[in-house]
A and B are shown apart, each in its own frame.
Chain A
Amino acid sequence: DVKVTQSSRYLVKRTGEKVFLECVQDMDHENMFWYRQDPGLGLRLIYFSYDVKMKEKGDIPEGYSVSREKKERFSLILESASTNQTSMYLCASISYSGRGVNEKLFFGSGTQLSVL
């Protein structure tokens, strides 16, 4: 079974702090994603990476950055946390089939971040 592991289940930080959310997958997937999930809004894509050191902005990248130094690890960075970044953060990975169709996402268990 594919395993996507997020380092923290719950995190509480203060406004202005730099926050690192870590994600590791064990299936050698090329593509990794960070989403945030808010009630009534669904999952929204923050950033994704299709290869080591490669990144693309998603729909809501403002206030976030990412790092992919190794294939299995994708980090989300909140440069200066703000209260509106309180949310559930979900990491996901996907393999590339080469068939030109979207593949299903494998999700981590999520990190509930509270910024006070």
Chain B
Amino acid sequence: RKEVEQDPGPFNVPEGATVAFNCTYSNSASQSFFWYRQDCRKEPKLLMSVYSSGNEDGRFTAQLNRASQYISLLIRDSKLSDSATYLCVAHNNNDMRFGAGTRLTVKP
């Protein structure tokens, strides 16, 4: 079983839609969590860190549920430019584990 599991998708949504991705992690010692965005044939780039209380950055909201060991990302009012693969990451001091990613395509 992978340490970080994500639904691979693809999620195909129309512009303006709200879409949510979930991610589960198996290592209860994980201390910090991130969402990265990766465009086709490019490097991953940090989208946002995930805090225990949940955090919002514009159209993006991240939530962490430590008891259930899952992390979520909500994207509101989807734009064409949001089309990418979203990587979930669980990190402790010595180990950073990436999910395989969820692919999102936003269509006009």
Q: Do A and B come from one complex?
A: no
